[in-house]
Chain A
Amino acid sequence: MDNWKTSARAFWAAFAPPTFWLVAFFIIPLSLIWLYSFSSKTGIIDTTLDWNLNQYARALEPLYLGIFWKSIWMAAATTFISLVVAFPVAIAIVFAKPNVRMWLLLLIILPFWTNLLIRTYALIAVLRTNGFINNGLEWLVVHADWLLSFVGLGDNTLIGPFSPLHLLYNNTAVVFGLVYVHLPFMVLPLYAALDRLDRSYLEASLDLGAGHFRTFFSVVVPLALPGIASGVIITFIPAMGSYLTPDLLGGTDSQMIANVIGNQFKGANNWPFGAALSFLLMYATFFALAIRAFLMRKDGRGTK
């Protein structure tokens, strides 16, 4: 690696364009927002930069704090469910034969590469009152009733009539959608962490008398913990800042923080407040990243 001074011209030639773009079209816009967060609204579209903390104070009011809290909560639920589902899948992939492994990973990743909007939209058809799940359940109920009345019970109304489940436009739908979208994000780091684990630790644990579950919790999890933590964080952060999924699948009560921010800029036209909320979200994100860096420092223990 050269010191930049050894080829100063080459350095500047390569350094200048991306830096210009980053500064002009990223840093400056963000700084603008930062300034707005300290401003007040002084008219329908006018704002004054008066360096006050009112916007932040308002952002921390119970109403908005509640929404923050709800976003964190839903992101946490999403992460937890994803973890529980992804772990067996990751284990199955790690212990599969090498060529099968590649195909399984590909299959898990592929949905990730399709458009988020489309994936979320596809869920609407599944979850709505007239959607796949409800129609399927209805079919089951009707046929079960029919079977029962066939043997003389009920008269076709024992289990039915079927009233469809309200699976859409509520918090459940949002969490369901978030899990659906973020599952591949969780499988990959888990797979990577488990793959690097030396199998003789598992064999040693079994040899000493531990059962499979005991081995899992006493040996696998502690040694794979940094990788697990990584997966948890990189699922949690995008889930927390999610915009589309709560927008399409949620009801009026299921707004997450990104939706509220969006509203300030598109609807309510309260840019200073939206700016404060944005920055609070960013700080939360950075905090989560710091935790991840801290947890990753023990990475590599127990690897082959």
Chain B
Amino acid sequence: MRLFKRNPDPMGPLDYSRRFWLRATVAVTLFFLYAPIIGLIVFSFNNSRRNIVWRGFTTDYYVKLFNNESLMLAFGNSLTIAVFCTIFSTILGALTAYVLWRFRFRGKAIYEGAMALPIVIPEICMGVAMMVFFARIGWPTGLPWPFNLSAITIAHIAFSFPFAAIVIRARLESFNPELAECARDLGASEFQVFRDVVVPHMKPGLIAGALLAFTLSLDDFVITFFTSGPETVTFPVKIYSMVRFSVTPEVNAASTVLILVTLVVTAFALRMQNRNNMLSNAA
């Protein structure tokens, strides 16, 4: 790889990125950004209960993690919620994107502003609002799994579909309206045009939006914290309570697993986004 070939050209006056101090600043910043996380991952293999000093390599705590019933249950809950959230958010996001892209209507600007609200308001405000809402309307508690996760899922969908809408809308901007007109001309109904022409074009955006919704849901803490109960614990919430208790390698192991899942999903999403961009440049 030609990554480390020394640059033979003499340095020009605006070659800032070759100046020592700037390079040093970037290196130090990257070090500070990654060192804590790497430390966390490394110490998840630490053979020590109190996890302060390195005492040897072990994967015991990962074993403990996977045997920890409540933690596994919490992980299962998180995944379930994330899956449902993804499905609904993608659909709702796609519909929103379609409406905003295609139609003019009175009050559209206000509607767009309202759609942006879940993105801009502080999470705590939304979290407590959902908590109050479900309490006041007497949302049933004590339902069997998976229905007991419904409150959390609803809240997740509410705050993630606007994000998905943005991603999908960006993809729609590159759609050539003549394709739809042509389909109509050939006899397709509105629905058929949507299904056969628009949706296929949206696909990279749909996938990117879905992955975004998935990560947002899986990682969420604040909103979940206020809408969950003792029977409906999610993975981040469970980790939170473990962290409050003590710092053990088990928590590190759980964190590492979550990091891995997020990274894999994100890498996939980025690849999809690249295809999104390349395809939109081509189409």
Decide if A and B touch, CB cutoff 8 A.
yes
Using a CB–CB distance below 8 Å, which chain A residues touch chain B? 1-4, 7, 9-11, 14-15, 17-19, 21-22, 25-30, 32-33, 36, 85, 88-89, 91-97, 100, 104, 107-108, 110-111, 113-119, 121-126, 128, 130, 132, 180, 183, 199, 202-203, 206, 237-238, 240-241, 243-244, 248, 258, 261-262, 264-266, 271, 274-275, 278-279, 281-282, 285, 289
- When A and B form their complex, which 4 residue pairs have the shortest distance between CB atoms, in order from nearest? A241-B122, A29-B133, A122-B36, A29-B129
| B239: chain A residues within 8 A (beta carbon) | 117-118, 121
A-B contact pairs, 29 of them (CB 8 A): A2-B104, A11-B103, A15-B95, A25-B154, A26-B118, A26-B126, A32-B132, A89-B26, A92-B26, A93-B26, A107-B33, A110-B266, A114-B258, A115-B221, A115-B236, A117-B221, A118-B40, A122-B39, A125-B40, A206-B13, A237-B120, A238-B122, A241-B124, A243-B222, A244-B240, A258-B122, A265-B226, A275-B128, A275-B132
Q: What separation, in Å, do the CA atoms of A91 and B23 have in the docked complex?
A: 10
A18 touches B95 (CB 8 A): yes
Pick the contact of A96: B17, B34, B122, B243 (CB < 8 A).
B17
How far does the Cβ of B45 sit from chain A's closest Cβ, in whole Å? Answer: 14
By DSSP majority rule, is chain A's interface helix, strand, loop, or mixed?
Answer: helix
Chain B residues near A (Cβ < 8 Å): 13-17, 21-23, 25-26, 29-30, 32-37, 39-40, 43, 51-52, 91-93, 95-96, 98-99, 101-105, 111, 114-115, 117-118, 120-133, 136, 154-155, 157-159, 161, 165, 190-191, 194, 215, 219, 221-222, 226, 236, 239-240, 243, 247, 251, 255, 258-259, 262-263, 266
Q: A89-B26, A92-B25 are in contact. Are A114 and B262 (CB under 8 A)?
A: yes
- Considering the chains assembled together, what is the distance between the CA atoms of A183 and B32 in angstroms? 11
Inter-chain contact A117/B129, CB cutoff 8 Å: no
Interface secondary structure of B, over-half rule = helix
Q: Smallest Cβ distance from A40 to chain B, in angstroms?
A: 16
A125-B43 contact given A18-B96, A104-B26, CB 8 Å threshold = yes
Please tell me if the beta carbons of A22 and B114 are within 8 angstroms of each other in the complex. yes
Whether the pair A29, B130 counts as a contact (CB closer than 8 A) is: yes
Q: Which of B16, B133, B161, B165 contacts A91 (CB 8 A)?
A: B16
Complex CA–CA separation, A271 to B133 (angstroms): 12
- Interchain CB contact under 8 A, A88 and B124: no
The complex places the Cα of A14 from the Cα of B172 at a distance, in Å, of: 15
Smallest Cβ distance from A268 to chain B, in angstroms?
12
Q: A108 touching B33 by the CB < 8 A rule?
A: yes
> B132, A115: Cβ atoms under 8 Å?
no
Q: How far is the CA of A5 from the CA of B155 in the complex (A)?
A: 32
| Known contacts A95-B15, A282-B121; A118 and B258 CB within 8 A of each other | yes
A92 touches B103 (CB 8 A): no
With A25-B158, A278-B128 in contact, do A88 and B247 touch (Cβ < 8 Å)? Answer: no
- Residues A115 and B259 in contact, CB atoms below 8 Å apart: yes
Residue among A85, A110, A124, A203 with the most chain B CB within 10 A? A110
Asked, given contacts A118-B40, A203-B14, whether A113 binds B104 with beta carbons under 8 Å apart, the answer is no
Asked if A32 and B136 make an inter-chain contact with CB atoms under 8 angstroms apart, the answer reads yes
Cβ–Cβ contact B255 & A118, under 8 A: yes
Q: Taking CB as reference atom, which chain B residue is nearest A27?
A: B114
CB-nearest residue of chain B to A121: B243
Is there contact, CB below 8 Å, between A85 and B13? no
CA–CA, A115 to B30, complex, Å? 18
A206 CB → nearest B CB, Å = 6
Closest residue of A by beta carbon distance from B52 = A130
Give the CA-CA distance A41 to B154 in the complex, in Å.
28
Task: Using A125-B43, A199-B14 as known contacts, say yes or no to A25 and B157 having CB atoms under 8 A apart.
Answer: yes
Q: How far is the CA of A121 from the CA of B155 in the complex (A)?
A: 25
Shortest Cβ gap from B179 to chain A (Å) = 15
Residues of A within 8 A of B262 (CB): 113-115
